[in-house]
Amino acid sequence: MSLKSEDYEALGTFRYAMRKFLRFSKEVLAGAKLTPEQYEALLAIKGRAESASINVGDLSERLQVKHHTAVNLIDKLAARKLVARKRSTEDRRQVNIKLTGRGNSVLMKLAAIHRQEMRQRSSEMIEALRRLQK
């Protein structure tokens, strides 16, 4: 399948819009002393609709990182008292992670800022994606 010049332009526009958003996000997160990966971990934990926690394996999958990388992220977040670990009662090998009150508070503020920025920038991204669907 060959691409048209419009496809390249739409791909470039989408990537440019994403880069602008990610730069914004990185600056906001630096102010909160969080890495983008730590913020994504907090979102993945909070976004777990069916329960109030997530296990390390599921977090690793959500973040698309290796198990030991997820553990390292959890260690850093736990050191800042943003998350807490609890061994599963059903399977003692499983460790569940949940946000602490402080973690919820930090995430709530950061997510609101990110949502507002996404609302302002999303039309450019959506239009580029629409052009790619044709």
> Structural domains in the chain?
5-133 (1.10.10.10)
- The band of 88, judged by pLDDT with boundaries at 50, 70 and 90, is confident
Angstrom distance (rounded) from CA 108 to CA 114: 10
125: Cβ–Cβ under 8 A, 6 or more apart, which residues?
14, 17, 18, 21
**Residue 86: exposed, middle, or buried by beta-carbon count in 10 A (0-12, 13-18, 19+)?**
exposed
Q: Tell me how crowded residue 6 is: count the other CB atoms within 10 A of its CB.
A: 11
Alpha carbon distance 126, 70 (integer Å): 31
pLDDT on residue 46: 92
Picking from 20, 11, 10, the residue whose alpha carbon sits closest to that of residue 121 is 20
Reported pTM: 0.87
Tell me: pLDDT of 48 over 90.
no
Confidence (pLDDT) at 92: 73
